[in-house]
Chains A and B, each alone.
Chain A
Amino acid sequence: MEDFYRELIIERYKDPHFRGVLDPNDISYEDDNPSCGDHIQIDVRLDEKGIVTEALFSGEGCAISQASADLLLESIIGKSVDDIKEISKEDILENLGIELGPVRLKCALLPLKVLKAGIYGINKTEESD
């Protein structure tokens, strides 16, 4: 079970590559995980074609949620908003390289939830999951 704490996760938790705030931005959204107090904000900049040029996250949380956010943002640079909509729970777990129980799964998926809510927020015709 200690395998949760793969080197990659500890490394990204201690030294994230995509931590910070973008102001101005094209997409900004924040949310909490009420069961544990994790809080994540994600800011994204898009070019005129809707391609992600920059993305940063801020907030507080456990190693799993923070590393998950960092790896997620790394994976979306150069992607379109439509590509981001296709990102699944499985993709996140594959990024992290671990399997999680229901409680910690929420930590791992919070960044994706925030990112998607932000994206669907600018395309209000479509429903968020």
Chain B
Amino acid sequence: MAAKITTGYDVNEVRQDFPILTREIRPGVLLTYLDSAATSQKPNAVIEAMSAYYQDTNANIHRGIHQLAEEATFAYENARERIAAFVNAPSSEELIFTRNTTESINLVAFTWGRTFLKAGDLILLTEMEHHSNLVPWQMLANELDLELEFIPVTPDGLLDLDIYKKQLKKEPKLLGITHMSNVLGTINPLEEILQDAKSAGAVTLVDGAQAVPHFHVDLSKLEADFYAFSAHKMCGPTGIGALFGRKELLEKMPPFLGGGEMIKRVELRSFKTNDIPHKFEAGTPAIAEAVGFGAAVDYLSDLGMDQIERHERSLTGYAIEKLSQISDLHILGPDIEEKGGVVAFYIKDIHAHDVAQILDSRGIAVRAGHHCAQPLHTKFNLPATSRASLYLYNTREEVDRLVDGIHRVKEIFA
């Protein structure tokens, strides 16, 4: 490990951990995967950990007395501890396993929201939210007759914090905010924002789906009340995510889904809820996925989040430099200082789908559409953008292939 740190980050060595990256998309066409903001690829360490769990350990967790049940329970709970440590959560009982970030946010809306909000209460969100941090609150607002307001996004792709400070005077009950935009790449200055929300008496929920995979997130320092993220964007499997919640809040919240595991005792007409975090984990959970999630945070820790961040920052800078030289191509979002490895762009008079289609013919995977952030695209008056998103295994050579591909797109549409 020490050798790796002194010699720097060897991306070609890292790539060898990801079997899919050697795949030819079509005969003779290498995969250039630039869609990690949608989902990341998985290293051998994660694939093997899940496979080993099924081969050696598989059993249902908790309650079982037999050896396998003990081992499976340990594997599941130990994964929770490692994931909680990875984001430096004050305690692992504050980390609930969910299906993904979307379910984490819905959990808060359904349990905390329905219990503690009433008609006329204000929820403050931002214009750069993913649909997963908009629609649950719209649903709740319809149900309870709540007010919604949005921190505006400036043309540079930053939150307008002067307006935010004015909005706080209306005493919102909740601030829901993304840590990093999945379209603009903007990394929001959360410490300041959350501090101000807290002073104004608002509970805070952060969508960390695009943050936790890419840089070190310290939940003891950030002081978010709720923080949601997904395994599959950080080298882990699909089907599992996490919700961090402050203990005082989680204990006051009613359960989410009802069933096994979330109870202490059940009678025919009543039940007593289990302690946190189990209170929020009804039914048999995604055990192998939790094991894979644990292996993913181990893998990221071994590489070093600081090393990963440095690699991505350098690569993002390179991508922005190269792409901005292409005429008629416009990149959304702020400059590199305030931006993570998400580069959404549009080319004058060429629809994003056509860009993505032609890039695909060269094995280059980018995303085209509104990336589940339709209101943000409406704001910028764009029906769709193309998005290249970078991760720890991407190279400058891949960025060059993207640039060549875009030149070809322009030729076809010339």
A61 to B351, alpha carbons, bound, how many Å? Answer: 7
Instruction: Judge if B15 is at the interface, Cβ distance under 8 Å.
Output: no
With contacts A37-B374, A37-B384 known, is A104 near B412, CB below 8 A?
Answer: no
With contacts A37-B374, A39-B383 known, is A5 near B354, CB below 8 A?
Answer: yes
Cross-chain contact A2 with B361 (CB below 8 angstroms): yes
Cross-chain contact A1 with B360 (CB below 8 angstroms): yes
A15 to B368, alpha carbons, bound, how many Å? Answer: 23
Instruction: For residue B201, give the distance in angstroms from its CB to the closest CB of chain A.
Output: 37
A61 to B368, alpha carbons, bound, how many Å? Answer: 12
Residues of A47-80 at the interface with B, using a CB-CB cut-off of 8 Å, are 60-64, 66
Instruction: Judge if A87 is at the interface, Cβ distance under 8 Å.
Output: no
Cross-chain contact A2 with B384 (CB below 8 angstroms): no
Neighbouring B residues of A14 by C-beta, 8 Å:
413
Neighbouring A residues of B354 by C-beta, 8 Å:
5, 62-64
Q: Tell me what chain B mostly uses at the interface: helix, strand, loop, or mixed.
A: helix
Instruction: Judge if A35 is at the interface, Cβ distance under 8 Å.
Output: yes
Instruction: Judge if B352 is at the interface, Cβ distance under 8 Å.
Output: yes
A35 to B368, alpha carbons, bound, how many Å? Answer: 9
Instruction: For residue B27, give the distance in angstroms from its CB to the closest CB of chain A.
Output: 12
Cross-chain contact A60 with B383 (CB below 8 angstroms): yes
Neighbouring A residues of B350 by C-beta, 8 Å:
63
Instruction: Judge if A4 is at the interface, Cβ distance under 8 Å.
Output: yes
Contact of A36 among B358, B369, B412 (CB under 8 A): B369
Cross-chain contact A107 with B358 (CB below 8 angstroms): no
Cross-chain contact B412 with A10 (CB below 8 angstroms): yes
Instruction: For residue A57, give the distance in angstroms from its CB to the closest CB of chain B.
Output: 15
Residues of B388-414 at the interface with A, using a CB-CB cut-off of 8 Å, are 408, 412-413
Contact of B353 among A1, A10, A36 (CB under 8 A): A36
Residues of A1-56 at the interface with B, using a CB-CB cut-off of 8 Å, are 1-2, 4-5, 10, 14, 35-39
Closest residue to B26 on the A side, CB-wise? A1
With contacts A2-B361, A4-B357, A62-B353 known, is A38 near B383, CB below 8 A?
Answer: yes
Neighbouring A residues of B352 by C-beta, 8 Å:
36, 62
Residue interface bits B314-351, CB-to-A below 8 A is 1, else 0? 00000000000000000000000000000000000011
Cross-chain contact B358 with A2 (CB below 8 angstroms): yes
Instruction: For residue B299, give the distance in angstroms from its CB to the closest CB of chain A.
Output: 31
Neighbouring A residues of B413 by C-beta, 8 Å:
5, 10, 14, 63
Q: List 24 A-B contacts (CB under 8 A).
A: A1-B358, A2-B408, A2-B412, A4-B357, A5-B357, A14-B413, A36-B353, A36-B368, A37-B370, A37-B374, A37-B377, A37-B383, A37-B384, A39-B383, A60-B383, A62-B351, A62-B354, A62-B357, A63-B350, A63-B353, A64-B353, A66-B351, A104-B353, A107-B353
Chain B residues close to A by CB (< 8 Å): 26, 350-354, 357-358, 360-361, 368-370, 374, 377, 383-384, 408, 412-413
> Top 6 nearest A-B pairs by Cβ distance?
A1-B361, A62-B353, A62-B351, A60-B383, A37-B383, A37-B384
Chain A residues close to B by CB (< 8 Å): 1-2, 4-5, 10, 14, 35-39, 60-64, 66, 104, 107
